[in-house]
Chains A and B, each alone.
Chain A
Amino acid sequence: MSIGPGNDTNPQEGVVLTPEQARSRRARNIAIGFMIALLAVLFYALTLVKLGGAVAHRQI
């Protein structure tokens, strides 16, 4: 990881991740994405179950 202003040989400024850091960040991002998707599906299915089969016939 290199910190500090860029120079002619390294045009990237700021924090540059090492390959290991980049790899672990990518793995964490995939895991978070997967968990959020799972939660969305779970809440959707839970809502259907809690509403029950007669939801379309309720009195308004």
Chain B
Amino acid sequence: MSDASYIDGAEATRNAPRIPVAAPSDYFELLKPRVMSLVVLTALAGILLAPTPPHPLIIFAALLSIAVGAGASGALNMWYDADIDAIMTRTARRPIPAGRMEPESALAFGLVLAMLSVFTLGFATNWLAAFLLAFTIFFYVVIYTMWLKRSTPQNIVIGGAAGALPPMVGYAAATGDLGLASAILFAIIFVWTPPHFWALALMKHDEYGRAGVPMMPNVHGAERTRLEILVYSMLLAPLGVAPWLLGFASIAYGVVSIVAGAYLVWLAIGVYRKREDDAARRASLKLFLFSISYLFLLFLIIVGERALHIVGVV
């Protein structure tokens, strides 16, 4: 064999198939586990609101499917947004920007999980729930990630619908129908999303600016963002009480939601009033962190109450 038939080391490296070194934990990270935990909780609330909840194994399969569907959305989001993720410190250590995984692997993983989760939910429960889950994934990946995120400051307002759908998917899985109760839970998450993400955007506006993501503070300024945070928080507080007013949560939920809602508005007023660098940042951080607790708290109470009701304790 002549020397010409050999390729030199540098060319070999260029032509070499890219063999991944991603561990299973990297694939798990693609699923955005923390988001998934909130999705599981909100979907479970939707399932347990059904007049007659299904068999526990059906509930388990439905929750697993919805969680995996949400995870698939996360993986597809990380595939598409790898360029943005590499710029922002909060996301730079994700598997793709960190170089542990090829983007194509995340794309394939996300697509397979999306199809598997929709099919499993359809098989385990019904095809209305499966359609809603497929729509949720489509909305998050195509409408939010590919279209709105890079084109309008209303990105997280409209895109918030994807995050708000899990209770409706859960309710549909349990009943084969769409009910007022699940629509109220949808509305709570939908209205919760803007103040939550804009509190983060106020703190990270320089990073969003560098990444070219048109978040509200970058496009319309911090003052307008603070005002909108306050308006949405004032809408959210009474909406959070609605489950009690409409009779599918107890007086205990009512009291907690009134107190927590009032505190949320108080924190939003703090964000609106404090304009100096450090104080403003602290106010935004407080609102951002409490908004997570607020949503977890409301849904935990609904889940707890419904579970106790189903086992006959109350």
Interface residues of A (CB under 8 A from B): 1-5, 15, 17, 20-21, 24-25, 27-28, 30-31, 39, 42-43, 45-46, 49-50
Question: Is the pair B5, A1 in contact by a Cβ cutoff of 8 Å?
Answer: no
Q: A46-B123, A49-B57 are in contact. Are A3 and B15 (CB under 8 A)?
A: yes
Give Cα A45 to B57, complex, Å: 8
Q: With contacts A5-B1, A5-B5, A43-B123 known, is A21 near B15, CB below 8 A?
A: no
Q: A46 near B57 (CB under 8 angstroms)?
A: yes
Q: Tell me the smallest distance from the CB of B11 to a CB of chain A, in Å.
A: 9
**Which residues of B, 95-124, contact A by the 8 Å Cβ criterion?**
116, 120, 123-124
Given the known A-B contacts A15-B16, A21-B19, A46-B57, are A31 and B5 also in contact in the complex, defined by CB atoms under 8 Å?
no
Query: How large, as a class, is the contact surface on chain B?
Result: 20 to 34
Task: Say if the beta carbon of B12 comes within 8 Å of chain A.
Answer: yes
Contacts of A30 in B (CB 8 A): 24
| Alpha-carbon separation in the docked complex, A46 to B23 (Å) | 30
15 A-B contacts (beta carbon < 8 Å): A1-B16, A3-B7, A3-B15, A5-B6, A20-B21, A21-B19, A24-B22, A25-B19, A27-B24, A30-B24, A42-B61, A42-B64, A43-B123, A45-B57, A49-B58
Best-surrounded residue of A39, A46, A50 (most CB of chain B within 10 A) = A46
| The 10 A-B residue pairs with the shortest CB-CB distance in the complex, in nearest-first order | A31-B24, A3-B12, A24-B21, A3-B16, A49-B57, A21-B19, A49-B55, A46-B124, A24-B23, A20-B21
Which residue, of A1, A15, A24, A31, has the highest number of chain B Cβ atoms within 10 A? Answer: A24
B16 — which chain A residues lie within 8 A by C-beta?
1, 3, 15
| Distance of A46 Cα from B65 Cα, bound (Å) | 13
Q: How far is the CB of B266 from chain A (nearest CB, A)?
A: 46
How distant is the Cα of A28 from the Cα of B16 in the complex, in angstroms? 21
Contact B22 A28 (CB under 8 A): yes
Would you give the shortest CB distance from B121 to chain A, in whole angstroms? Answer: 11
CB distance from B55 to the nearest CB of A (A): 5
Closest beta carbon of chain B to A49's beta carbon, Å: 5
C-alpha spacing A21/B100, complex, angstroms = 11
Which residues of B (24-67) have their CB < 8 Å from a CB of A? 24, 27, 55, 57-58, 61, 64
Report Cα–Cα, A4/B123, bound state, in Å: 48
Give Cα A4–Cα B21 distance, bound, in whole angstroms.
Answer: 21
On chain B, the residues within 8 Å of A24 by CB distance are 20-23
CA distance A49 to B62 in the complex (A): 14
Contacts of A50 in B (CB 8 A): 58, 124
B17 within 8 A of partner (CB): yes
Other A-B pairs, 4, CB within 8 Å; known A2-B12, A46-B61: A4-B12, A27-B24, A43-B120, A46-B58
